[in-house]
Structures are given as C-alpha cells and as structure tokens.
Amino acid sequence: MSLIAFLLRRAPAGVLLSALAGLASGLMTAGLLALVGRWAARPEPGGLALEVFFALCGAMFLTKVGSEQLFIRSSLKAVFELRMQLGRHVLAAPLRQLEEVGPARLLSALTEDVTLIAQALPFVSSLVVNLVLVAACLLILGMLSLPLLMALSLVLALGTVTYRALASEGVRRFEVAHRSQGILHEHLRALVAGSKQLKLHAGRREAFLQGRFGDNARALRDQLWAAIRLFVAGGQWGSLLFLGGIGLVLFVAPQAGWVEPPVRAAATVTLLYLMLPLGELLLAVHQLSRASVALDSLERLGLSPAPSAGAPPPPVPGASWRRLELRGVSHGYVQGGERTFVLGPIDFTLHPGEVVFIAGGNGSGKSTLLKLLTGLYPPERGEIVLDGRIITDADLEWYQQHFSAVFSDHHLFDGLYGISGPSWEAEARTQMARLGLEGEVRLHGRHFSTTQLSQGQRKRLALLVSLLEDKPLAVYDEPAAELAPGFKDFFYRQLVPELKARGKGVLIVTHDDRYFAHADRVLTLENGRFREASIASPARQ
C-alpha cells in the first residue's frame, strides 16, 4: 500500500522496530490463546501455569505499548516531514504552476489531505498487529484441526474476495468525493472572502448557499455515503461469513469429525477471539483506503521544484550591479488550450539610480511585466541579462533575490521575516515613524502588534518591509493606490528620490500621472507591448 511505502520512506527505523514489537505482541497473544485453549480443553479444572500466564500477559502488554508508541512517533515524524516537504515544494514550484493548480486545491491538499493521512497512519500499525494475530489464530486452529483450518480458510478467502471487490469500488467513489472536496474548498473560500457582499444581499446569500455551495456540499455528502456504505457492507458481509465459520465449529465440525471433543472449546475460544483482529483489520483497510486517495492526490499535484531550486546562495542585500536588460522577452497565458494574452517581445534596460514608471490600461500586461522582470515568470522567449550574465533556469533563484517588491495583491506577513543586520530595529522604528505607522502598529520583537489595518496602513507596512529589505532593485505595483494624498506625496517626492540616490533601480507601475515627472522614464504598455519611447528626465513638477 502506498501509505506503508510513504511511512517506510520517512521513518524506516521506527516503523520496522514498531512492526517487530507488533509481531512479538501478536505472537505473545497467540501464545496466551494457545495456553488458555489448552487449559479449556483439560477435563479437570486447574493446571494453568499462572506464572506463564502472567508473564505472557506482561510481555504482550509491553510489546504492544512499545509498538504503538514507536509507531505513533514515527507517524508524527512522517506527517511533520510531509508538511515541511509540501511547504518547500509549494515555494519551490514555478509561480505559473501554483497559479494553474489554484489556491483552493493547494489549501485543500495542505490541510484536509494531510489531516486524512495523519489520522489514518495509526491504522497501519493496527494492520500489522492484527494481521499477525489473524495468522497466529489460524496457526493455532490448524494445530487443533487441519480440516477446520481448511474450511475456515475457504470462508476467509471468500470474505476477502468479496470485501476487496466492494472496497475497490469504495475507493473509486472516495476519489469522486475527493474531487468534490476540492471544489467545495473553492466555494468555502468564496464564502469567507465574499461574506460582506453575501451579508448585504439576502437573495444572493440564499442563491449562493442553496445553489453552488449547497449543491456541492450535498454531492459530497452523497458521494461519501456511497463510498462508506460499501466498506460498511463489506464489513457486515465479512462478519456474517465469520459467524457462519463459528457455526461450522459448533455444529458441523464435531459431526463431521473435524474437531475432537477435547479441543472443541479451544477451537471455539480461538475462533471467537479471531473476530476481534478481523474487525480491526476491516476498519484499518477502510481508513487506509481513504488516506491512500488523499496521498495519491497529493502526489498528483505534481509540484515539481523549479529548475533553480537549490541554486547558489542569494547575494548580500545592496550588492552592486551595473545594468539589467530584458532582450526580446515574452510571456503568454494559455487557458483552455488557447493563448489568451501575450506580453512582449519586450526590450528594456535599467541602470542603478534609475526610476522608471510603467503606465497602461487595465489588462495591458503591467503586472505580468513585473513578474517577468523579477524572474517569477521565466521568459518563454528572449533573455534576461544582469551585468552581462544571461539568466538561465539555474540562476533564477539567485536572480530573484535582487528584488524587493510590493505587488498589487501583496500578502502582509505578521512580522519582519528575514530582516537582519545590527541596526535593523532602529532602522525599522525610524522608517515606521516616517511612514506614519507609529501609534498604528507596534513592533513586538520582530512581530507586528496587528495586521488588522486599513488598506492604506497595510500598504505603508508593505513599503516599510520593502525599505528594510534594502535590495538593489525595487519594483512596486500601484504602491500608492490606497495611500492618502499626504503619504502619496511622501512616497513619490521623498522615498522614490531616496531610493534613486542610493543607487537602486526602481520600477513602478502607476496611474498617478501627477507624479510622472518624478520618473526618469515613463513607459506605456498597450496590449502587451511598449507603446512609445521613454520620456527622458521630464521636468519636475
């Protein structure tokens, strides 16, 4: 099973030790059963070796507890590693791949799929221990009566074949339900993100809840029920067969002469005991089947690390550079097999201390250009060249580290991650004061006291982080869109000239034509291409 392989890959020593302890525990239980069986078969009471009985009980308890604890530790380790690995894969995957998979599917994988796997892992241990117990019970029964063992094996084989047929159909239905779960996640995201609009419009709220959301939730409920019902039916059929097996021992076997009267009690005890591990096995198969669907789905996400992952360490912030060029670069989007938009080919050069504004209508490709320039989208055609070095796939990670960015859909982290240096705190406080953030947000160590802020405050906090990063190149996508006039002025008239004076290359997507005079060049994008030549050093307003 893929789940067992998954565990063995991540915690081989712990799983093997746990399996050995489980095996020992199963053997002790079988020994105990054999002992009790032999005692039950004696015509006279007494004669059970008490010390052997208690020794076996103690050993069974210790090996079982040891096996379970080792297994739980190994499972937790495996799940922790899976979470870390998924996090790394998400961050190492090319941005386009993440956009294509979509946030809902990613979140569903990182939360629900991992949880399903974590919850199912203890059942791997149960599978091992109970398989040993079943094998041991069959061995004991075989020693008591060979014909009985053969008849029971037939019953068990029939049960297994039927259960497998039902279970494989159940797994198929779990797969269908899993796809609905991904769609439900998308609707849940819409429900949370759109709660304001839904609150203000009762008709829309009901239409959404009863419509797409409710339809999908109902479909998921029905698909899960269809899948679980098959496993339950399989389990019930297995129990029925087994009761038939007990009937065999009690009524048919003695008459057929398969079981001698002295061992009939022992065979019945063993058979009755066998019901326990068989029941647990069925439960384990059910849980593990569901988790296997989740694991397969995680593997199907196919988050391949970008070719640049694991590249040389990033440069020290503030590293010097001389010239950045885009030579005939282009990038296109494909949706439903059709090219919907192409940016480029673009030729563009930026030098230290240069400030370039990018203007253009909605959908003209400004944000796409920023993603291309920063290496988040590798060019389909053309070259990015930094100081004469052509940026290859293997250089992308290194190249990306030159940029500090504030995107239009910027995520505000709750603290200053990755900001270091001897005077980072003093610098942070100074810049917070300049950006008017004092009194609105406080620094607790490296964490912000809050991120529950207005749009303008969030934008200023994002600018603060960008300033503290102190990278050689700064790109901003409509940074002043939500800023009040005073802060807009401060940004264009003070911050941007300061960045320029410090030799940064600055690229700003903006519609603020009042401030165009503060750029060395203003380039306008139109349908993915630059419309006109640069405006060199316009007169300051």
Residues that bind ligand ATP in the complex, under the rule CB under 6 A: 99, 333, 335, 340-341, 360, 362-368, 408
CA 155 to chain centre: 42
> Rounded to the nearest whole angstrom, what is the least distance from the CB of residue 337 to ligand ATP in the complex?
13
Residue closer to ligand ATP, measured from CB, 365 or 378: 365
How far apart are alpha carbons 496 and 483 in whole angstroms?
15
Residue closer to ligand ATP, measured from CB, 270 or 510: 510
Residue closer to ligand ATP, measured from CB, 159 or 360: 360
Q: Which amino acid is at 266?
A: A
Long-range interactions of 234-237: CB distance < 8 A, separation 24+: 234/162, 234/163, 234/166, 234/167, 234/170, 234/282, 235/163, 235/279, 235/282, 235/283, 235/286, 237/159, 237/162, 237/163, 237/166
How far apart are alpha carbons 487 and 223 in whole angstroms?
54
Q: How is residue 464 written in tokens?
A: 């603060």
> Rounded to the nearest whole angstrom, what is the least distance from the CB of residue 92 to ligand ATP in the complex?
19
> Rounded to the nearest whole angstrom, what is the least distance from the CB of residue 514 to ligand ATP in the complex?
18
Q: Do residues 24 and 63 touch, judged by C-beta distance below 8 A?
A: yes
> Rounded to the nearest whole angstrom, what is the least distance from the CB of residue 99 to ligand ATP in the complex?
5
> Rounded to the nearest whole angstrom, what is the least distance from the CB of residue 336 to ligand ATP in the complex?
10
Q: Do residues 282 and 163 touch, judged by C-beta distance below 8 A?
A: yes
Residue closer to ligand ATP, measured from CB, 22 or 365: 365
Residue closer to ligand ATP, measured from CB, 289 or 374: 374
Residue closer to ligand ATP, measured from CB, 341 or 424: 341
Q: Do residues 329 and 381 touch, judged by C-beta distance below 8 A?
A: yes
DSSP alpha helices (H): ranges in 42-94? Answer: 50-92
Q: How is residue 138 written in tokens?
A: 């069959």
Strand ranges (E), 371-520: 381-386, 389-390, 403-406, 443-444, 447-448, 473-477, 505-509
> Rounded to the nearest whole angstrom, what is the least distance from the CB of residue 422 to ligand ATP in the complex?
38
How far apart are alpha carbons 430 and 439 in whole angstroms?
13
Q: Is 428 helix (H, G, I), strand (E, B) or coil?
A: helix
> Rounded to the nearest whole angstrom, what is the least distance from the CB of residue 387 to ligand ATP in the complex?
27
> Rounded to the nearest whole angstrom, what is the least distance from the CB of residue 100 to ligand ATP in the complex?
8
Residue closer to ligand ATP, measured from CB, 95 or 250: 95
Which residues fall within 8 angstroms of residue 466, CB to CB, at 6 or more apart?
404, 405, 406, 474, 476
Residue closer to ligand ATP, measured from CB, 367 or 400: 367
Q: Do residues 216 and 180 touch, judged by C-beta distance below 8 A?
A: yes
Q: Do residues 231 and 284 touch, judged by C-beta distance below 8 A?
A: no
How far apart are alpha carbons 11 and 14 in whole angstroms?
6
Q: Is 337 helix (H, G, I), strand (E, B) or coil?
A: coil
- Mapping DSSP onto H, E and C, the string for 278-302 reads HHHHHHHHHHHHHHHHHHHHHHHCC
Long-range interactions of 492-497: CB distance < 8 A, separation 24+: 492/518, 493/518, 495/463, 495/467, 496/355
Residue closer to ligand ATP, measured from CB, 153 or 367: 367
Residue closer to ligand ATP, measured from CB, 285 or 372: 372
The answer to whether the Cα torsion of 420, 426, 431, 436 is positive or negative is: positive
HSE value, Cβ hemisphere, 13 Å, CA-based, for 377: 23
Taking each continuous run of H as one helix and of E as one strand, the counts in the chain are: 19, 12
Residue closer to ligand ATP, measured from CB, 152 or 356: 356
> Rounded to the nearest whole angstrom, what is the least distance from the CB of residue 102 to ligand ATP in the complex?
10
Residue closer to ligand ATP, measured from CB, 74 or 364: 364
> Rounded to the nearest whole angstrom, what is the least distance from the CB of residue 365 to ligand ATP in the complex?
4
Residue closer to ligand ATP, measured from CB, 81 or 99: 99
How far apart are alpha carbons 509 and 367 in whole angstroms?
8
